[in-house]
Amino acid sequence: MTAKMTDTRIDLATHLDGAALPQGLSELLALVASACVDIRKVVSGGALAGALGASGSVNVQDEEQKKLDVISNDILTDQLLASPLVAGVASEEMDNCQPAPHSGGKFLVLFDPLDGSSNIDINAPVGTIFSVLAAPEGDITDASFLQDGRKQLAAGYVLYGGQTMLVLTTGNGVAGFTLSLDGQWLLTHPDIKISADTKEFAINMSNQRHWAQGVQTYVAGCLQGVEGGRGKNFNMRWVAAMVADVHRIMMRGGVFLYPWDKREPNKPGKLRLMYEGNPMSFLVEQAGGKSTTDGRAAILDVTPTELHQRVPVILGSANEIDIIADTCGV
C-alpha cells in the first residue's frame, strides 16, 4: 500500500500572517481568494452548470455581458459586502460603486470579476483581477475609489487555466499560489521576477492599421527579426485575456501592449485604469517590470477622474519597455 504524500508547502493564510500588513488585510485577501475558488467551480462547470452564453444585458461600457460575467460579479460582490472589513466595492460590470450595508469597513475592493469574456464559450483561459484600497472616512461614493495606483494596499489576479493560480502583491514583491485538489492555495512561486529582456510581445495584430505610428514602428521592428535593426527573432503571443497574457509575462518575460488606436480617437484606450491598468501595473512593477501608458507616463501615476476611466496599457520586461519608449516615441 502506497503512503499518501503530504504537501508541506506554505498556504496562503500562513504566508499572509508572516507579512507586516495593515490589520485585517490578510483576512480580506483570504476572503477574495475564497470567492475566486467559488468562481472557479462555476467556470469549470461550463455548459454543465448552464453558465455559458450571453446574459442578455450589457454593462456600463456597452459591452454584452456573458452569464459568467454576471455570476462572477455576484459572487464577489455578495461575499465582500457581507464582510465587516469592506466599506464598499466597485466592479467593471457595475455602473457605480456599492457601499457596504454596514459601517466601519476599512477597505475598498475593485475588481474585474471575469477578464477575457470572449474566451468563456471556447474554454480558453479567463481570470479575475482585483485591487484593494484604504477606505476614506465618511460616506462611500464613486469618488472614494478615485485614488492613484500607488495607493493600492494589495493587488492580484486569479487565472482559471490548466491550473488555477493566484498571483498576489501587498507591496513587497510578488508571490504565486496554486489551488490544490483539496481546495487550498499553496505557495508555489515565492518570489516572481520578470526577466528584464525578452523576445516575446503580445498585441492584437488585427488592429495594426489603427495604431499610432510609434507602435507600428516598434512592432514592425520586432517582425523583421534577426535581419532587422533589433537583431533578434521575436515571437508574438495573444490569448485575448489580459490575465493570461500578463501571467505569461510573469512566468517568462515579454511585453503586453493594448495601445490607443484611431477607431475611437476620443477614447484614450480600451482597458480600464481602476480594474486592469492599476492592479496589473502594481504587480508588474513589484516583479521588476515596468508599465506605462505611452512610453513616458507610468500607469500608477495616472490621476483617476472617473470609475470606468480608460487608459492605453504597455507593460512587461523593463528593458523592452525602455526600448518602446526610447526608440518609438509612443
Is residue 196 a contact partner of residue 319, using CB atoms and an 8 Å limit?
A: yes
Residue 209 gets which letter from DSSP? G
Asked if residue 301 belongs to a known ligand binding site, the reply is no
Torsion-angle region of residue 128: left (phi > 0), alpha (psi -120 to 50) or beta? beta
Three-state SS across 112-157?
EEEECHHHHHHCCCEEEEEEEEECCCCCCCHHHHCCCHHHCCEEEE
Asked if residue 92 belongs to a known ligand binding site, the reply is yes
Asked if residue 276 belongs to a known ligand binding site, the reply is yes
Asked if residue 319 belongs to a known ligand binding site, the reply is no
What residue has cell string 520578470? 194
Q: What are phi and psi of 178, to 5 degrees?
A: -110, 135
Torsion-angle region of residue 246: left (phi > 0), alpha (psi -120 to 50) or beta? alpha
Beta bridge partner(s), residue 98: 89
Asked if residue 28 belongs to a known ligand binding site, the reply is no
Asked if residue 267 belongs to a known ligand binding site, the reply is no
Q: Are strands 271-272 and 310-311 parallel, antiparallel or unpaired?
A: antiparallel
CA 286/CA 252 separation, integer angstroms: 15
Asked if residue 137 belongs to a known ligand binding site, the reply is no
Q: How far apart are the first and last CA of the chain?
A: 63
CA 177/CA 168 separation, integer angstroms: 8
Asked if residue 315 belongs to a known ligand binding site, the reply is no
Q: What are phi and psi of 64, to 5 degrees?
A: -65, 130
The CA distances from residue 141 to 81, 90, 146, 243, 306, in Å, are: 15, 10, 10, 28, 11
DSSP-derived 3-state class of residue 88: strand
Tell which residue, 160, 156, 165, has the closest CA to residue 132: 156
Look up residue 46 and give its three cell numbers: 461550463
How many CB atoms sit inside 10 A of residue 55's CB?
15
Binding positions for substrate are: 115-118, 204, 270
Binding positions are: 92, 112, 114-118, 204, 270, 276
Binding positions for Mg(2+) are: 92, 112, 114-115, 276
